[in-house]
Structure formats: C-alpha cells, structure tokens
Amino acid sequence: MALLDIKNLNLAMRSYEGETQILHGIDLKIERGEIWGMVGETGSGKSLTGLSVSRLIASPPGRYLAGSIEFQGRDVLKATDKEMRMLRGRHIGMIFQDPTTNLNPAFRIGTQLVDVALHAGHADPSVLGLGAGASRGDFKKAAKRVAVEMLEKVGIPKAADRIDDYPHQFSGGMRQRVLIAMAMIGKPDLLIADEPTTALDVSVQAQILRLIHDLVAERNIGVLLITHNLGIVAQICSHVAVMFRGRILEAGKVNDVLKRPSHSYTQALLNSVPTVHTKRGELMGLSGAMRETSA
Amino acid sequence: MLLYILRRLVLLVPILLGLTLLLFIVARILPGDPVGLAAGPNATPELIAQMKREFGLDQPLPLQYWNYLTGLVSGDWGMSVFTRRPVFADILEYLPATIELVFASLFIAVVVGIPLGLLTAVYKNGPLDYATRTVALGGIAMPRFFLGLLLQMAFAAWLDILPLSGRYPLIESPPDHVTGLYTIDALIAGDWSAFQIALSHLALPAIAMALSPLATIMRMMRSSTIEVLQQDYVMTERALGLSNRLILFKYVLKNAMTSTLTVIGLYVSWLLGGTVLVETVFDWPGLGLYATQAILTQDFMPVIGVTLVIAIIYLVAMLVVDLLYGVFNPKVRYA
Amino acid sequence: MTMTPIAIPKRTQSARLENWSRAFYRFRQSWLSIVGLAIVVLLVVIAIFAPWIVPYPEHVVGGTNTGARFQPPSANAWFGTNALGQDMFSLVLVGSQVSLFSGLAVVFIAIVVGTAVGAIAGYFGGWVDEVLMRITDLLLTIPSLILAMAVAAALGTGVWNMIIAISITWWPAYARLVRGEVIVKKEEQFVVAAHALGANWLRILGKHILPNIVSPIVIKASLDMGFAILTVASLGFVGIGVKPPTPEWGTLLSGARSYMPDYWWTAVAPGIAIFLAVLAFNLLGDGLRDVLDPKARR
Ligand SMILES: Nc1ncnc2c1ncn2[C@@H]1O[C@H](COP(=O)(O)OP(=O)(O)OP(=O)(O)O)[C@@H](O)[C@H]1O
Ligand SMILES: [Mg+2]
C-alpha cells in the first residue's frame, strides 16, 4: 500500500466564464522516504493537485469528475469532513508559498503552533507524548512544550522566548521556518510544500530546503514538493513529475527523467535552466509551437 | 502604554477648552431669551433684570466665559433656568439613565451584529445572508423614533408584555443607588425581581436605538470577514486541520474586528446624540430628555453641559477604541 | 517564437460614452439601486405636484374637518384621518416637499461650505490648515443632532432656520473629505505644472483640482441625502422645525404619538414615508458608489 496513490484524477473548476476541466487524469504514487518534485508551467494545475490531497478545494467551484486519491489506502475524496480533519495537520502537513501572508498577523506564533499541536494531539495523543487518559491541562502543557521543541528544531534561536512574538517580528526566512514547524508539529506522514522557497532570498532558499530535507530524512516521510525550479529538484528530490496543462507528462526517478527526458516538453524545460555551461544568448524560452505539439 | 494614555488624556484638555469656548460663543450669539421665557409673559422688567443678575447674564461676555470656565472645573456648571437647579446636579442625576440605555443598545448591537456578520460572510449568498442583509438595509434607514413607536405599539399596547415607557414604575422605589444603572444595581443588591422590572423597561428603548448600529456593524463585519476569509493564513489554518469554529471565532474574528471597531466607536457619539429622540419616545429620564426640555425652553446652560458631557464621553470612547485597536492589531505600537 | 501584431480595436464610440454606458451597466446590475432610483424619482414627482394631486388640498393648508376625526384608513381617506379630521394621505404627500427640499438644501450648503473650507485648508496647508481643521474637528466631536436642535430652537421655527441649523453640523464632514482629496491631488503632475505656468490658486483649485474630486463628493452627498431627511424629521419629531399648518413628516409623527395605539394609522403613514425616503436615497447612494468608485465594491 502506497502512502499516497492518486489515480486518474479529473478536476473541473468553475469560474465566471463557466466550468473548465483543469486536471485531466493525474496519476501519482508517493512512498515513504520519497521526495517528489512537481514541476510545470504556471497554471498547469500543480497547486490544485496538492490541495486536492487534503481536499482543500471547495465545491463549488471545484468538482471531481473522476478518479481517486488514496492516502494510506483510504480514498480522501470519499472521506467525511471529520475524517479529513483528522488527516490534516496530523497525517498530512502543508506549507505554502508566501511566509508573509500564511501566518495569522493578529496572533502570537506560539498560539498558532499550540493550536495545531493540540489538534494533532486530539487526533493522536502520542504526538504530544501523552497517553489516552491525559487531562486538558496535560494537553496544553505538552502542546506548549512540543511547540518550543519544534521551533528549536527548525532553527529559531531562543525559541522559548520567541514563541510569544507576533509574525511581524520575524524575517521572511524565519517565518517560513515557523510555518514548517507548524506543518511538522503533528508528525505528519506526508508533507506537501507548494513553492516553499519561491518568495525567499536565494541564500535563505538553500537553508530552508536543507531544513525540509533533513526533517524528511529524520522522520522518513513522503514529500510532494511543488516548484518551478528544476535546480531544486535536481538537488533534493528523489523523484520528479512533470506537469503540463493538467496532465503528468512523465514521472519517475530524478536521474532517469532529467538525464533522459522522454518528452520534448521536459527537454525544453531542461534547456530553459541556465547552467554554468550555458553561453550567452542560448537560454531558451518555451515557444508557442512547442506548447502546441506537446499538448 | 500608560504613558500613551496619559499623553492622550492631556491632549484632551485643549480640545475641551476649544469646545467650551465654541459652545459658549454659539450659545451667546444665538437669539433667544431664556430668562424672559422662564419668567413668564407677565414678568415685570425688574423681575427680569433681577433674574439676569441671578444667572450672571448682565456681565460682559469674556468675564462670563471666564466665570463659566472656572465654574466648570469646580463643578459649577451654571444654573438651569427651567429646573432652577444647578446643571451639574441635574446632569449627575440624569447621566446614569442615559449611560445604561446607551450601553445596553451598544451591547445588543455588538453581541448580535458581530456574530451575524461573521455567519452571513460564511454563508454568503445563502438564505440567511439575503434575509439579514435585507433587514439590515431597512434597519439603517429606520428612524429610531418611529421604530420606538412601533415597538411600543406591538409589545406594550397589543401584546402587553413590556411596559410602555419610563424607567421604573413610579410607585415603586428603584434598587439602592450604587452605579445608578438600575439593572446593575439590582444585580448588586441581588434583587432578581427588581432586575426583571428594570430590564423590561430597558428592553424596548435599547432595541429601538440598537437596530441601526447593529445593521451597520453587521454589514461592516460581513465585508471584512469576507476579506479575511480569502487570506492565505486561513487556508493554512484549514490545511493544518483546525476546526471551522476555531478558525472563524478565534482567528478570523480578531482580524475582522479592526475595521468594525472604528465603526463601533463612531456609534457611541451617534447613540448619545440619539437619546434626545428615543428618550422622548419612551419618557426615559436621561440626558436626552433633559436636553430636549432645555432646548425647547431655550435654556442654554443645560444644553452646553449635556453637549460637553457627551463630547467627553465620545473623546474617551475614541481613546478606548484606539487602545482596543492595538489589542486586535499587534503591529500597532503606542509610542 | 512568432509575434502576432496586436490589433488595436476600432473605436465605435467615444471613450467617454463608453465609460458612461459601462457605468450605467454597473448600476443596472444591482436591482436594489434601481428600486432606490425609482422611489427617489417618485418622491420628486410627488413633491412637485403634491398640491394639485392630493384629494383634500384644503387640509394641507390648515383646513380641518372635526366631523371626521380619527377615521381609520378607508377608500375615502387611504391613510385615515387625524385628530383634526385631516386626511393623512394628503398631509403625507405634501410633507415630502419640506423633507426633500430641506434635505437637498442641507446637503447643498454643507457641500459649498465644506468644499470651500476643505479646499482652502488642503491647498494652503500650514497654519490656515491648522486653524480650519481644529475648528472642524471640534464641531465633529459635538453630537450633531443636539447642536442642530439647539441652534434651530434658538433661531425659531421656519424651514430656513432648520436648514441652517442642520447645515452647521454637516459641513465639517465634507471639509475633511475635500481637504484629504485636495492634498493628494495637489501633488499630481498636472497641478504642479499649472502652478509652474503661473496659474493663480483660485484657478488651480477651481479648474484643475476640484473637478477631479467630484466623484467622492457626489457619492457622499447621495448617501447623505437620506440622513439629512432623517435629521429634518428628527427635529420635527422633537417639536422644532416648520410652523404647524405646513405638513412635515416628523411633526406629523410627533403629533400622532399621543393617540397611540388606538389611532395607529396617524403614526404609521408618516413613519413609513420617512423610512422609504431614507431607504431610497441609501440604495441610490450605494448604487452610485458602485458606479463611480468600483474599487470600493464589497
Ligand atoms: N479557484 C479557482 N477557480 C477557478 N479556476 C481556478 C481556481 N484556482 C485555480 N484555477 C485555475 O486552475 C488552473 C491551475 O491552477 P494552479 O493554481 O493549480 O496552477 P499552478 O500550476 O499551481 O500554477 P503556478 O505555478 O502559477 O502556481 C489555472 O489555470 C487556474 O486558472
Ligand atoms: Mg501554484
């Protein structure tokens, strides 16, 4: 049984112009310990795929036409709202792109961490190191302790003091660390990170990626890392899926796909990444013709 | 923080000085002859002159203002020609009734308006949303005094479940004076039946005053909640499994409150001014009724006094709003 | 990598006309604004023609019919009759005149005074600004209804005295609004340029700045019309305002108070009239805001 098994996922979204199909039969299988990179041009449906796993797309506007998303053997598209909530935060963690807008500005980061920890703890007390009969007070104390530990783990110095600070008192990179701590505090089995470093400085990007990589290695969890950056994929991913217009063109081990792309779109994508060997003027954009043929 | 409050309070002094001067000038420029009215049509010139002396109206204007100002500070707010009592004593007597009424209506407006705004934002375009928005549109346009009359007709005359007017039955004595707010005093005294009586009198005027601010607060809350619900952090909170109730009533509420707070502050002044209408309808013995009587008899010292009190309450309310603003928005720093 | 030349769409209408038709489209989008507009138009028509269309014209100039006191609503008197046997329907229709006229006058005076004060304060800045704005702020802290009542009572009865009294409390809000807009517009290129070319301040204000801030004023004015009517009625209700034979909604309502609840119709008719007028202007104002300031849409 795979950790995550998306089969033939078809999703349509409704907008002012009417309903359009966005995902056309996505297939993707993620096992524990695998870091899947998902690349593709903007609007190809990467984020919607990621959100679907936690069933975070409201309907309307979203509507699933066909397919299933099995997480640890159970189809999340058929789960009840309550079951979904028990998965979120506890079994599936998520990180989004912009750390400046993804933390609630009106609350101390500790409050936000503790609430997520409490939620995960109610789903499974062992997350907080508690037994089934623990009291409310125990939960609160444990959640606070775990929050501080988690902050230390993601590299926030003086975590015990900073837990009472508000988001605006942190830098962008630090905020993304806090968000990673929030996503990981419930000890999830799967982490979905949607462009977690796009909004950050290049120097900070590497630190954040290393952090994610280390946490994943330590806990042996599965990761779906959505990105535009093939360089990132090459560095930290074990597998990659290339998306184009709501379809997965090719997927597999990073080495196989990036070394021997079987699809012209992937080839073009690779050519668009500058390397030290790229000469001036050689950098290619994706042409309209290429888009037509590969669709 | 404390320093900030102190500084704001000190800044109130010049505002209040300006206010008294303005009110004083307005009162003196205006035509009108309170003494003549009070003395009656048959008064002799001697009597009028004597009354003028009695009220200090025969002195030059700057001196009158100076006397008025020094009087203000020492609690001498002038005499009411109409009640023939010191204005300050009158105000002290009527103020608690008005405070009780204004607080009750503000309470209703906030306690009903904010959750309704949240819920209609969540169930946007649903039946509840349409129903409350329609009522809100009407609520804002509804004259307070007309609503008061309708409520009297429905609940006092036809259904006969609430008293028509007044603050407490005349034949009974109100609960022991502690705060002057009958409902609170009754609770302090532990007198449950007195509390019920006070509350039954308070209900209709408070509702009549509350409808419009309720509707505005609800609309404000609805639009800011809709905005907050689209924020990224709400998605993060949902993605990490927090319950809808927790997200809405804790995380969204606090963010959506900031813009609503300003509206609530502005309504304090609106409610206080509106007491002249609602207290007239319900014979509610408060500042509004007092001011109305004074105005109709062109008795200006009470009018200035009431206006001054309301302005002070308003300025303090704005200060409280500013402080609360910092509670809801941690980025605000009081320097 | 081909570049298709961008076809510039032909203009069949002038840009201005297009703006207007788009604005009108937005207005039509909300049927509530249409309802508001319809009621406002109806009110204006009634106010203009009331003296000729009411069934009992003699009642609106003080005539009484004590034989027909307190008749409930019927085919003869749609809204019933009052303590003097006067036809409420006739009184309410004619009452629209005072309400609409004084509402309009209040808003007009407030705009003129407020714009002048705000424009001068915003344009010149410095101590002029300080003094004018301090006075404005002071007036804004005073409960406007009480101040208006006091001034109106002191000036004595009469429509114009009431209008002046209310206007005194209304212009500061416009002064604030205009001052803010002027300060923003003052820094814009074309104003700076006009200044450099030696245009004098009156010309710059009148020709270059004020025409550009009409929208916010119109939006505020249309929303304020309803509340001006409400204030007029409020003064009438507490017994300050127009002289008795002239029908006025607030005064009618206050007169009906002593005969509640038995003769409820004497209160309901003028009350609903006030409610409808205020509601209509609010709806219209909301619609105009959507048209003139699409950004402010919820
Ligand atoms: N709420 C929505 N309603 C309607 N259509 C939507 C909605 N969200 C996304 N879409 C459409 O779905 C398509 C895929 O969106 P998605 O956000 O998954 O793209 P993406 O691959 O993540 O792009 P990017 O790299 O820019 O983040 C887009 O064409 C977008 O227009
Ligand atoms: Mg995306």
- Per residue in B115-141, pLDDT (tens digit) is 999 999 988 888 888 888 888 888 888
Contact A88 B241 (CB under 8 A): yes
| Domain-embedded: residue B162 | yes
Residue C37: CB atoms within 10 Å = 17
* CA separation for the pair B25, B21 (Å, rounded): 6
Residues of B with CB under 8 A from a CB of A: 231-233, 235-243, 246, 250-251, 254-255, 328-331
Angstrom distance (rounded) from CA A117 to CA C141: 48
Query: ∠ at Cα B333 (B332, B334), nearest 5°?
Result: 125
Residues 8-47 of C with CB under 8 A from B: 32
Asked if residue B233 and residue B95 are part of one domain, the reply reads: yes
* Residues B254 and B300 both lie in one domain: yes
Q: Which of A54, A90, A96 sits opposite B232 (nearest CB)?
A: A96
Unique residue bearing structure tokens 């407490």: B168
Assigned domain for B111 exists: yes
Residue B81 lies in a domain: no
**Do B132 and B23 fall within a single domain?**
no
- Please state which of the ranges A114-128, B160-174, C63-77, C266-280 shows the lowest mean pLDDT: C63-77
Q: Which residue of A has its CA nearest to C2?
A: A288
Cα–Cα separations (whole angstroms), residue A271 to A245, A278, B58, B284: 19, 9, 97, 82
ipTM score of complex: 0.88
* The predicted structure's pLDDT at residue A288: 42
The residues in A 265-294 lying below 8 A from C, measured between CB atoms, are 285, 287-289
**What average pLDDT does the segment C238-248 reach?**
80
Distances from the Cα of B81 to the Cαs of A268, B92, B301, B306, C32, in angstroms? 93, 17, 8, 15, 50
pLDDT score of A84: 92
Is C149:C161 a contact under the CB 8 Å cutoff? no
CB A98 within 8 A of CB A91: no
How far apart CA C259 and CA C267 sit, in angstroms, is 9
Token couple for A90: 């506890």
The pLDDT of residue B83: 80
Query: CA of A76, closest CA in chain C: separation in Å?
Result: 35
Residues B97 and B226 in one domain: yes
> Above 90 in pLDDT, residue B78?
no
Residue B78 domain flag: no
Q: What angle do CA C228, C232, C237 make, to 5 degrees?
A: 140
Cβ atoms of B76 and B181 within 8 Å: the answer is no
Q: Report yes or no on B266 lying in a domain.
A: yes
- Tell which of B29, B47, B73 closes a domain: B73
| Other CB atoms within 10 A of residue C240 CB | 26
Residue A221 tokens, joined? 């969890």
Same domain, B136 and B67: no
CA distance C289 to B316: 32
Judgement on whether residues B19 and B155 belong to the same structural domain of the protein: no
Quote the CA–CA distance of B177 and B185 in Å, as a whole number.
Answer: 6
What pLDDT score was predicted for residue C4?
45
Rg, chain A, Cα only: 20
A147, A163 contact by CB (below 8 A): yes
DSSP state of C262: T
* SS3 track for C1-56: CCCCCCCCCCCCCCHHHHHHHHHHHHHHHCHHHHHHHHHHHHHHHHHHHHHHHCCC
CA-angle at B49, arms to B44 and B54, nearest 5°: 125
> The tokens 């419009």 sit on which residue?
B212
A288 contacts on C by Cβ (under 8 Å): 1-2
Would you say the C-alpha torsion C110, C116, C122, C126 has a positive or negative sign? Answer: negative
Same domain for B66 and B100, yes or no, is no
Closest to B308 (Cα-Cα) out of B10, B13, B23: B23
Q: What per-residue confidence (pLDDT) applies to C5?
A: 47
Domain boundary among B43, B73, B103: B73
Q: What would the pLDDT profile of B245-279 be if each residue is shown by its tens digit?
A: 999 999 999 999 887 888 888 888 888 888 888 99
Q: At what angle do helices A172-184 and A202-219 cross, to 10 degrees?
A: 20
Per-residue pLDDT averaged across B28-56, rounded?
66
Please check whether residues B112 and B42 belong to one and the same domain: no
Q: Which chains touch B (3+ CB pairs under 8 A)?
A: A, C
Residue A116's contacts (CB-CB under 8 Å, 6 or more residues apart) are A89, A182, A185, A186, B240, B241, B242
Kindly determine whether residue C143 and residue B307, on different chains, have CB atoms separated by under 8 Å. yes
Calculate helix-pair angle for C265-292, C31-53, nearest 10 degrees: 130
Question: What's the pLDDT at C26?
Answer: 66
Lowest-pLDDT choice from B185-194, C4-13, C158-167: C4-13
Q: Which residues of C touch B141 (CB under 8 A)?
A: 226, 230, 275, 278-279, 282
In this structure, are residues C128 and C120 in contact, taking their beta carbons and an 8 Å threshold?
A: yes
Cβ neighbours, 10 Å, residue A214 = 12
Q: Is C269 on the interface with B (CB under 8 A)?
A: no
Identify the residue whose tokens are 């037994």: A131
pLDDT in tens, C94-153: 788 888 999 999 999 999 999 999 989 988 888 888 888 888 888 888 888 888 888 888
Q: Which residue of C has its CA nearest to A285?
A: C1
The alpha-helical segments, DSSP class H, found in chain A are 46-53, 81-87, 99-102, 109-123, 136-153, 159-162, 172-184, 202-219, 230-236, 254-259, 264-271, 288-294
pLDDT of residue B101: 93
Percent of chain B scoring above 70 in pLDDT: 92
Interchain contact, A104 vs B237, CB within 8 Å: yes
Written as six digits, the tokens of C235 are 């003064």
Specify whether B195 is located in the same domain as B57. Answer: no
Helix (H) or strand (E) holding A36: strand A35-40
Beta-sheet pairing, A190-194 with A92-95 = parallel
Pairwise pLDDT comparison (C167 vs C267), residue with the higher score? C167
Pocket test for ligand 1, best of A13, A14, A64, A192 (most atoms within 8 A of CB): A13
For residue A121, how far is the Cα from the chain centroid?
Answer: 22
CA–CA separation, C58 and C70 (whole Å): 17
pLDDT of residue A181: 92
pLDDT of C41 > 70? The answer is yes
Residues B280 and B158 in one domain: yes
Task: Using a CB–CB cutoff of 8 Å, tell me whether C223 touches chain B.
Answer: no
By the CB < 8 Å criterion, does C296 face chain B?
A: no
Is it the case that residue C293 has pLDDT exceeding 60? yes
Please name the residue whose Cα sits nearest to atom 31 of ligand 1: A43
Q: Is C152 helix (H, G, I), strand (E, B) or coil?
A: helix
Angstroms from A286 CA to nearest CA on chain C? 8
Angle between helices C88-124 and C214-237 (to 10 degrees): 140
User: End of a domain among B41, B73, B105?
Assistant: B73
Q: Based on the fold, state whether residues B289 and B251 are members of the same structural domain.
A: yes
Per-residue pLDDT of chain A (295 residues; tens, 9 = 90+): 789 999 999 999 988 778 899 999 999 999 998 999 999 888 899 999 999 999 999 888 899 999 999 999 999 999 999 999 999 999 999 999 888 899 999 999 999 999 999 999 988 888 888 887 788 888 999 999 999 999 998 888 999 999 999 999 999 889 999 999 999 999 999 999 999 888 888 888 888 888 888 888 888 999 999 998 888 888 889 999 999 899 998 899 988 888 877 777 777 777 776 555 545 444 444 444 344 333 3
Residue B11 in any domain: the answer is yes
Residue B194: the pLDDT is: 81
Residue B44's pLDDT is 73
Residue B328, token pair as written in the block: 């809801």
β-pairing verdict for A74-75 and A222-226: unpaired
Q: How far is A277 from chain B (nearest CA, A)?
A: 39
Which helix (H) or strand (E) covers residue A225, if one does? strand A222-226
Query: What's the CATH number where B315 sits?
Result: 1.10.3720.10
Which alpha helices (DSSP H) does chain B contain, by range?
A: 2-29, 34-39, 45-54, 61-73, 87-122, 127-141, 144-151, 182-189, 192-229, 232-239, 244-246, 253-282, 287-296, 300-328
Give the domain extent around B301: 88-328
Whether the link from the prior residue into A61 is cis, omega within 30° of 0, is: yes
Q: Alpha carbon of B168 to those of B172, B276, C176: distances in Å?
A: 7, 19, 43
Do B62 and B95 fall into the same domain? no
- Quote the tokens at residue B82: 């109409």
Q: Is residue B83 part of a domain?
A: no
User: How far, rounded to the nearest angstrom, does the alpha carbon of residue C208 sit from its chain's CA centroid?
Assistant: 26
What average pLDDT score do residues B204-231 get?
A: 91
Tell me, what's the pLDDT at B325? 82
Where is mean pLDDT largest: A282-291, B90-99, C52-61, C89-98? B90-99
**For range B55-77, the mean pLDDT:** 78
pLDDT of residue C287: 81
Alpha-carbon span A20 to C128, nearest angstrom: 60
Atom of ligand 1 nearest to the CA of A50: 18
**Under 8 Å between Cβ of B20 and B71:** no
Position B277 in a domain: yes
What average pLDDT does range C204-210 have in this prediction? 78
Residue C79's φ and ψ, nearest 5 degrees, are: -105, 15
Q: Are B272 and B335 in contact (CB under 8 A)?
A: no
A279 DSSP 8-state letter: P
C261 near B CB under 8 A: yes
How confident is the prediction for chain C on average, in pLDDT?
79
> Cα C102–C107–C109 angle (5° rounding)?
90
Taking the C-alpha atoms of residue C14 and residue C22, their distance in angstroms, rounded to an integer, is: 12
**How do A18-30 and A35-40 pair as beta strands?**
unpaired
Provide the number of structural domains found in chain B: 2
Entry pTM: 0.83
Q: What is the pLDDT averaged over residues C226-250?
A: 85
φ/ψ bin of C292: left (φ > 0), alpha (ψ from -120 to 50), beta (otherwise): alpha
Which ligand 1 atom sits closest to the C-alpha of A61? 3
**pLDDT reported for residue B189:** 80
